């Protein structure tokens, strides 16, 4: 995702992908009060689809530990791969997408 304004569209795509590939639904969404999640459109979408939002207090990323930890692990893996394969920096986003497709 290049811009935070893409978050809502990406979430809708992700929700459909989860449902289509696993047959499961998203039970709740933990959010950090970032501006990309505060739009009325996003909040209304969550309500319409029965997805409760769990808001973490401002300035407490540790309360969203699973996501923060996973992000850190993925970035460390990409850096290691790029270093090992001697890849140039600009291909990091591409490598991250490839790594994610291997993990899922």
The runs of H, that is alpha helices, within the chain are: 7-22, 40-48, 65-84, 92-103
- What is the domain partition of the chain in residue ranges? 1-59, 61-104
Beta strands in 1-104 (DSSP E): 29-31, 53-55
pLDDT score recorded for residue 63 = 66
pLDDT score recorded for residue 48 = 94
pLDDT score recorded for residue 30 = 82
pLDDT score recorded for residue 54 = 85
pLDDT score recorded for residue 65 = 66
Q: What is the pLDDT along the chain (104 residues), one digit of tens a residue?
A: 677 778 889 899 999 999 999 999 999 988 877 777 778 898 999 999 999 988 887 777 666 666 667 777 777 877 777 777 666 665 666 766 766 666 65
pTM of the model: 0.58
pLDDT score recorded for residue 15 = 93
Q: Which CATH architecture has domain 1-59?
A: 2-Layer Sandwich (3.30)
Cβ-contact 51, 28 below 8 angstroms: yes
The values of phi and psi at residue 55, to 5°, are -90, 125
pLDDT score recorded for residue 36 = 75
């Amino acid at each position: 995702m290049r811009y935070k304004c893409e978050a809502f569209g990406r979430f809708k795509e992700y929700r459909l992908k989860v449902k289509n590939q696993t047959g499961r639904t998203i039970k709740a969404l933990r959010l950090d009060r970032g501006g990309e999640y505060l739009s009325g459109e996003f909040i209304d979408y969550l309500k319409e689809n029965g997805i409760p939002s769990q808001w973490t207090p401002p300035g407490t990323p540790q309360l969203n530990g699973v996501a923060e930890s996973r992000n850190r692990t993925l970035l460390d893996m990409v850096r290691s791969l790029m270093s090992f394969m001697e890849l140039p920096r600009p291909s990091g986003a591409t490598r991250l997408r490839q790594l994610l497709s291997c993990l899922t």
